[in-house]
Amino acid sequence: MNRLAGLVMTLSIASSAIAAEPTLESKLIPLVNGHKGEVAVAVKHLVTGETWLYHADVPMPTASLIKFPVMVEAYRQAEEGKLDLTKMISLTKEDKVQGSGVLTQHFSDGVTLSVRDAIRLMITYSDNTATNLVVDQIGLKSTAETMEKMGYPNTKLHSKVFRRDTSVFPERSKEFGLGSTTAGEMIKLCELLNKKELVSAKASEAMIEHLKTCDDADKFPRFLPAGIKLAFKTGSVNDARTAAGIIYDPSAGPFALCVMTKQNGDQRWSPENAGNRLCADIARECFDYFRAKAATAGTPASTKPTTAQ
């Protein structure tokens, strides 16, 4: 073999190796395509800026994920002096609603708790009754109004939880249920949160601490290595599963991820629900991808988003 032929073969082998390197799209598209239901995904590495988007501008039902923007609005009002987070609220029988949480099942009528504690219950246990208590304090329309001013027009709380009669967006309630957003808008909120620019640095730190207590182990945390920290919120209804937040990898740096599904074929209420598994599988694939990329010396990550339709 002459020198030129050898050089050509070497370059060809190198090119093949580069081409064979996995991308976020190659790792995530098979998961998305294998899901029986509609899917939207947005992922962004918060250091390198590498981004992958799939139907990220399509409005989707939030289920309890909307409680994240509700928390943002509560902290915004507190920052402006319009809401006292230490204010005590009395729980009444009429406040109690069904579904996730602890207040309805485990607390007596007349118990008092602070607005801040209601926010904690809303995020940690996705407590529906606590959410309605917070919404009563901030106003039902305020979350959507603030999100629109921030540039997130699809992020809306439509009504109180299990109180469809209170809806301020009746048509959206029919289509999306409790709330609506896009995967892209959720990622932008997460990015601001990570920069400590969501409301303020102090408020961002407080909200991150709330989100780190989310107790949903069936979605993002499920297949991640033990000890990996997350600040996230999820949502579940019969035909939809959602999750969004920040996954902190000490080796590769943090990344923001949002997975949203609707019209799911699998409507089981179990950890093996396909929507839960999709959230968990995508989180693990992203984690492995960014960790492997960080371990490859001298390989800068792209700062341009890749969008799959």
The superfamily CATH assigns to domain 23-58+182-309 is DD-peptidase/beta-lactamase superfamily (3.40.710.10)
Statement: residue 9 has pLDDT above 90: no
Distance CA 279, CA 31 (A): 10
Tokens 């799209």 -> residue: 25
pTM of the model: 0.90
Return the number of other C-beta atoms located less than 10 Å from residue 20's C-beta: 8
Q: Kindly list the domain boundaries of the chain, sorted by start residue.
A: 23-58+182-309, 64-177
Radius of gyration of the chain (CA): 21
| pLDDT tier, 21 (very low <50, low <70, confident <90, very high otherwise) | confident
DSSP string, the chain: --HHHHHHHHHHHHHHHHHHS--HHHHHHHHHHHSSSEEEEEEEETTT--EEEESTTS-EE-GGGGHHHHHHHHHHHHHTTS--TT-EEE--GGG--SSSSSHHHH--TT-EEEHHHHHHHHHHS--HHHHHHHHHHH-TTHHHHHHHHTT-TT-EE-SBTTBGGG-SSHHHHHHHTTEEE-HHHHHHHHHHHHTT-SS-HHHHHHHHHHHTT----SSTTTTSPTT-EEEEEEEEETTEEEEEEEEE-TTT--EEEEEEEES-S----STT-HHHHHHHHHHHHHHHHHHHHHHSTT-PPP-SEEEE-
Question: What is the dotted CATH code of the domain comprising 64-177?
Answer: 3.40.710.10
Backbone φ and ψ of 125, nearest 5°: -110, 5
pLDDT, residue 8, reads 43
Q: What is the mean pLDDT of the chain?
A: 92
Burial (CB count within 10 angstroms: exposed 0-12, middle 13-18, buried 19+), residue 252: buried
Per-residue pLDDT, averaged over 281-289, amounts to: 98
pLDDT, residue 96, reads 95
Statement: residue 209 has pLDDT above 70: yes
pLDDT, residue 13, reads 43
pLDDT, residue 295, reads 87
Looking at the chain, the whole-number percentage of residues with pLDDT higher than 70 is 89
Contact between 235 and 242 (Cβ < 8 Å): yes
pLDDT, residue 309, reads 54
Tell me: the pLDDT tens digits for 229-278? 999 999 999 999 999 999 999 999 999 999 999 999 999 999 999 999 99
pLDDT, residue 300, reads 43
Per-residue pLDDT, averaged over 183-209, amounts to: 98
Statement: residue 3 has pLDDT above 90: no
| pLDDT tier, 20 (very low <50, low <70, confident <90, very high otherwise) | low
pLDDT, residue 15, reads 45
Tokens 């081409």 -> residue: 19
Distance CA 45, CA 50 (A): 5
pLDDT, residue 10, reads 44
Instruction: Report the range of poorest mean pLDDT among 80-84, 161-165, 196-200, 281-285.
Output: 161-165
Spatial strand order of the sheet with 156-157 comes to: 60-61, 179-181, 156-157
pLDDT, residue 308, reads 65
